[in-house]
Amino acid sequence: MDTAQQAEEPLNSQNGTGRDERPYDIVLFGATGFVGVLTAEYLARHAPAGCRWAVAGRSAAKLEKLRERLTAISPGCAELPLIVADASDADGLRDLARSTRAVATTVGPYVWYGEPLVAASAEAGTHYADLTGEPEFVDAMFVRHDARARETGARLVHACGFDSVPHDLGAYWTVQQLPEGVPLRVDGFVRSNAMFSGGTFASALTAMGRGPQTLRAARDRRLHEPRLVGRRASAPVGAPRFSRETGAWAIPLPTIDGQVVARSARALDRYGPDFRYRHYAAVRTLPMALGGPAFVGAGVALAQIPAARRWLISRYEPGTGPDAARRARSWFSVRFVGEGGGRRVFTEVTGGDPGYDETAKILAESALSLALDDLPQRSGQLTPAVAMGDALLSRLREAGMGFRVAHTE
């Protein structure tokens, strides 16, 4: 581990620990993977002066090459600290967590590789951000590590990429445009032309192939999670329909995004006494509307067969992904329709390539926010909206992601 330069002066404290008492503000773990490299490049371009950050991974040689690449972007990265650590080395991850105020990790599938770093962060009082879209992992980490994180002051924030920040903050932004203290209904409609990487493909197939474990983890969480008293918040899976609001076919998306939005609503009174969110993919043509669920169903069926799952993963190896030219042509839009208290509002969140460029931006800005921003005094396992809320929203708008009110009625 190289020696990091000390900050000029402390910023906000963490559990009474001054900023100078830990050598780093941010450590990026899994920095040599496909999304890890993009996140490191974003930090090289956008980390503020005085931010003390380091990159971590299991290969010293790959980290050295990454540092050379980052130095070409920002000469100051020539002295960037490198940390050799493996996802299976619990002792090494404990040392890593103790060395930094916040850690961001791209190492998945998280259900296989993620828990040791979550455990180390919860124990050390270190803020944690990842890119998981795996409900089983998130639920299991709540059961095992939320209580300790509350004790130490750590914020454990999952789904800090396209899963699920545009949807979570988009619903949060939409709710802010609606009256307070009344039942609210919000629907989100996702459109994109983007491709996915080998790592994302492997994570999705892994989650699809673990249906019984996912149900068991969700049931276990319900037994441990406090019941919401005096308020309701839900994210039911809607029915396929034609959406007049968006002029597209709305196909239910049973992803983690709706769960994240509902958890934000349970934690924050601003979502009102009775909140409901539904999450859809928006497609323009009926054949696409009919073919999409069939394609997903075939993927789920194949994922149940270990040999088929391994073969599919081998066809699109983790660590690969679309090149810069393809990513530059990619975009996403999430349109929200919110209503309550006699008011109706149409909002939209937009950005570039969702799976890589925007995901790297979101993860990096989340880590910067956790490490440097003056955030609400909350700890434990939190959603992005609950942990960072307005601070992250402001960061992402300044970084070019669009949050706009398109129309009100």
Phi and psi at residue 5, to the nearest 5° = -70, 150
How high is the pLDDT of residue 13?
39
What pLDDT sits at residue 292? 52
Is 32:62 a contact under the CB 8 Å cutoff? Answer: yes
Between 408 and 361, residue with greater pLDDT: 361
Share the mean pLDDT of the chain: 88
Q: For residue 134, is pLDDT > 80?
A: yes
Mean pLDDT over 187-206 rounds to 71
| Cis preceding linkage at 135, omega within 30 | no
Q: Say whether pLDDT at 168 is over 50.
A: yes
Q: How far apart are CA 364 and CA 322, in angstroms?
A: 20
Judge whether residue 6 has pLDDT over 50.
no
The whole-number average pLDDT for the span 120-138 is: 96
Alpha carbons 277 and 36: distance in angstroms, whole number: 31
CA 321 – CA 353 distance, rounded (Å): 12
Whether residue 164 is preceded by a cis peptide bond, meaning omega within 30 degrees of 0, is yes
Long-range contacts of 66-71, Cβ-Cβ distance < 8 Å, separation of 24 or more: 66/31, 66/32, 66/37, 66/40, 69/37, 69/41, 70/40, 70/41, 70/44
Q: Band the pLDDT of 393: cuts 50, 70, 90.
A: very high
How would residue 236 be classed by pLDDT, with cut points 50, 70 and 90? very high
Q: At what angle do helices 306-314 and 286-303 cross, to 10 degrees?
A: 120
Residue 73: band (very low, low, confident or very high) from pLDDT cuts 50, 70, 90? very high
Query: What is the distance between the alpha carbons of residues 245 and 235, in angstroms, rounded to a whole number?
Result: 19
3-state secondary structure of 355: helix
- Lowest mean pLDDT across 87-101, 172-186, 193-207: 193-207
CATH class of 19-161+358-396: alpha beta
Q: Kindly tell me if the per-residue pLDDT of 374 is higher than 50.
A: yes
Q: How far apart are CA 280 and CA 349, in angstroms?
A: 14
- 336: phi > 0 → left, psi -120 to 50 → alpha, else beta; which? beta
> Within 13 Å, how many C-alpha atoms sit on residue 360's CB side?
24
- How many Å apart are CA 408 and CA 169, to the nearest integer? 19
- What residue segments make up the domains of the chain, in order of their start? 19-161+358-396, 165-354+402-408
At 332 the pLDDT is: 93
Query: Does residue 137 carry a pLDDT above 90?
Result: yes
The reported pLDDT for the residue numbered 361 is 98
| 3 state DSSP class of 375 | coil
C-alpha span between 53 and 5 (Å, rounded): 9
Report the C-alpha gap between 396 and 362 in whole angstroms.
7
DSSP 280-291: EEEESSHHHHHH
Average pLDDT over residues 73-98: 97
Q: How confident is the model at residue 355 (pLDDT cuts 50, 70, 90)?
A: confident
Position with higher pLDDT, 207 vs 127: 127
Interval 402-407 mean pLDDT: 94
Confidence of residue 7 (pLDDT cuts 50, 70, 90): very low
Helix (H, G, I), strand (E, B) or coil at 248: strand
Q: What is the mean pLDDT of residues 363-374?
A: 98
The answer, yes or no, to whether residue 131 has pLDDT greater than 90, is yes
The secondary structure of residue 323, as a DSSP letter, is -
CA–CA dist 404, 335 (Å, integer): 10
Average pLDDT of the segment spanning 176-193: 96
- Give SS3 for 13: coil
Q: What average pLDDT does this structure show over 191-216?
A: 71
Backbone angles phi, psi at 214, to 5 degrees: -65, -45
Is the peptide bond between 240 and the residue preceding it cis, with omega within 30 degrees of 0? no
Strands (DSSP E) found in 320-393: 332-340, 343-351, 380-382
E-assigned strand segments in 58-154: 82-84, 100-105, 127-130
Q: Residue 285 pLDDT more than 70?
A: no
Q: Model confidence over 16-41: pLDDT tens digits?
A: 345 568 999 999 999 999 999 999 99
Identify the helix (H) or strand (E) that includes residue 250.
Answer: strand 248-252
What stretch of H or E contains 98?
helix 90-98
pLDDT of 253: 86
Q: Distance from first CA to last CA of the chain, Å, rounded? A: 57
Mean pLDDT, residues 179-200: 84
Residues 334-353 have pLDDT tens digits of 999 999 999 999 999 999 99
Residue 135 and residue 129 in contact, taking contact as beta carbons nearer than 8 Å: no
